[in-house]
A = this chain, B = another copy of it.
Amino acid sequence: MRISSKGDYGLRALFDLAQRYGEGPIQSDDIATRQGIPVNYLNQLLITMRRAGLIDSLRGPQGGHMLARAPETITLREVLTVLEGPLLPDEPGRETSPPAIPEDHALIDELWAELRERIERLLAETTLDDLCQRKRQRSGSVMYYI
């Protein structure tokens, strides 16, 4: 139960794109340099995110990547689900030995389902735009002291 580099790097890349939303395509090289991500690996993640409909990509000179939707419509939940998969595989399928007390089995299964829903609801509360606002607020309060 941990966030892997996919979720970490992927979110950092989307955050980079969110800050430049509306400025046209951003190249993966630039994202990689700014955010400190291995560019080859990032390219893979970008493809995954494009296929999932999070970003649009354009080839050729002046090509690059951009958010497919406005930053306030992209939640952490969607990002992490795309990159990390669900908290538990939908139907676990751990059927090695038969469960002798099916009611206990069902109760724990339901607990996992409930937990997944609660965590996903929590993740859905934060959007890419929230992250941008946080950064703005932060740099803003620093400004006062310069």
- Contact between A99 and B1, CB atoms less than 8 A apart: no
Q: How many copies does the complex hold?
A: 2
- Contact between B104 and A34, CB atoms less than 8 A apart: yes
Residues of B within 8 A of A1 (CB): 1-4, 7, 80, 84-85, 87
Interface centre among A84, A86, A101, A134 (most CB of B within 10 A): A101
Which B residue's beta carbon lies closest to that of A87? B2
- Contact between A99 and B36, CB atoms less than 8 A apart: yes
Q: Known interface pairs A2-B1, A85-B2, A99-B36. Does A15 touch B108 (Cβ–Cβ under 8 Å)?
A: yes
A residues at B contact (CB < 8 Å): 1-5, 7-8, 11-12, 15-16, 19, 32-38, 76, 80, 84-89, 92, 94, 96-101, 103-105, 107-108, 111-112, 115, 118-119, 122-123, 126, 131, 134-135, 138-139
